[in-house]
Structure 1
């Protein structure tokens, strides 16, 4: 139950931030938060992370559903029932669904967090990144 609640909270935060960006910034408009380090910039990302495989929307939607099946398998069969494995699942589900909503609704993912010398990303991407780190940690250091 908590997995659904917290995943939904991540989705809500992600979608609210994207709504605010979509309705308050022009595409490619940049607002500096910390000079030369952090800014907001509305980018329509039609690819995966860092724009890889641009324009393959249907592929990403299909891959996302396979990813959910893999997460379900790992959670049921491979991961121990500890807090970090639950957090990994929450982060990955919330982040993936957040970006999936964009792909289905807009045919692109809304990215807007720009850090110096790094591709633009969004809140969902942050949770996916940390979810993968936690998942790898759990898989590599689990008790057999």
Structure 2
């Protein structure tokens, strides 16, 4: 039986905030900028350039939207199950799960309802793929999981 404890609800609530922030940012940029145009936000550093990403990170698996949508839904359901059935006790793991769920669902919503992911954050000085808030969330999750692994593992003396 799934129990709704305080820790699980905090993780899910934080994930919901990330999803809303991601979707709101994409909607705002789409409604004010539109496609195929770019707006300098911080000169020589950051542009808003809205693009349709039909692949995954770094445009991998381009035109695999159906497969990526199914994977996104399964991953989201699996994360929710983990959070509800056995919420982690570690602070960094909790934060990581919240960010990972938020990012996965944020991009999953795009794939499910639009057939592509809206990306709009463009770093001007480097040749880096355009990304979005959900992508940032997934990367923050990875950093949190790494911190959790380093922090919880006792140092061994060799």
Q: What residue is the counterpart of 2:44 in the other structure?
A: 36
Instruction: Give, in whole Å, the separation in 2 of the partners of 1:90 and 1:70.
Output: 9
- Name the CA distance, whole Å, in 2 between partners of 1:111 and 1:49: 11
2:139 to 129, 139, 142: 129
Count of residues in Structure 1 that have an aligned counterpart in Structure 2: 143
Distance 2:32 2:142 in 1: 31
Give the distance between the partners of 1:13 and 1:80, measured in 2 at CA.
24
| Greater Rg over alpha carbons, structure | 2
Moved more, 61-70 or 4-13: 61-70
Deviations 1:82-114 (CA, angstroms, capped at 9, x unpaired):
211100000000011000000001000000011
Partner of 2:104: 96
Deviation at 1:57, TM superposition (A): 0.8
131-140 or 46-55, which moves further after superposition? 131-140
Relative distance call for 1:123 and 1:46 in structure 2 (3 A) is same
Residue 14 (structure 1) aligns with? 22
Q: With structure 1 as the length reference, what TM-score do the two structures score?
A: 0.87
Which SS does the other structure have where 1:41 is aligned? Answer: strand
Measure the CA separation in 2 of the matches of 1:137 and 1:42.
Answer: 32
Tell me how far 1:12 sits from its aligned partner. Answer: 0.5
Q: Say yes or no: does 1:83 pair with 2:99.
A: no
**Structure 2, unpaired ranges of 5+:** 1-8
Tell me, yes or no, if structure 1 residue 63 matches structure 2 residue 71.
Answer: yes
State whether structure 2 residue 59 is matched by structure 1 residue 51.
yes
Unaligned runs of 5+ in 1: none
Q: 1:6 to 1:80 in 2, by over 3 A?
A: closer
RMSD: 2.4
**Pairwise CA distance, 1:140:** 5.1
